[in-house]
Amino acid sequence: MADTIRPAVSELAMTQKRFAVAPRATAVVARRRRRPGARKGTAFTFRLSERATVLIAIDRLLPGRRAGGRCRKPTRANRSGRRCTRAVRVGTLTRRGLPAGRAFVAFSGRIGRRKLGRGRYRAAVVASDAAGNASRAATVGFAVVRG
């Protein structure tokens, strides 16, 4: 019988919602001691209902203007449109084979080698099981205060 029950992501949170970008890769930062001053890096914490591969899509939240029923990049032509907040995808983190239960994914504020700039962001976490069933997205907002 085929698996038709999709996994669930719940209790999504971050250890720090405002943080500075760490100088090194995520794995190294996760083992370092804390220093005084602005905290460097953070971690996503959540609960999985079953073993799954997790995608964490990170979007930057930028100002926009309503045009053609959508939130678009501000231009001269749409400057009279209503203000809105648009989400621009900056990258995706993938963690394969996370077990059911509590999960902890360290995040240095970098996607690959590229630092996230100062500003507001949103992370959407989606889990998919071995049968290809995907969960609903759980989202959390955060801010990078120094790059």
Mean predicted confidence (pLDDT) in 83-93: 95
Q: What is the pLDDT of residue 25?
A: 63
Phi-psi region at 37: left, alpha or beta (left = phi > 0; alpha = psi -120 to 50): left
- Taking 3-state DSSP, the helix, strand and coil percentages for the chain, each rounded to the nearest 5, stand at 5, 55, 40
Residue 14 — pLDDT band, cuts 50, 70, 90? very high
CB 107 within 8 A of CB 21: no
**Distance (Å, rounded) from C-alpha 35 to C-alpha 33?**
6
CA 92 to chain CA centroid, nearest Å? 8
What confidence score (pLDDT) does residue 18 get? 94
- pLDDT bin (cut points 50, 70, 90) of residue 131 is very high
Q: What are the structural domains of the chain?
A: 9-146 (2.60.40.2550)
- For the entire predicted model, the pTM comes to 0.84
- pLDDT tens for 111-124 read 888 899 999 999 99
pLDDT of 86 over the 60 cut: yes
Contact (CB, 8 A) for 40 and 23: yes
Confidence of residue 33 (pLDDT cuts 50, 70, 90): very low
**Rounded Cα gap, residues 42 and 9, in angstroms:** 19
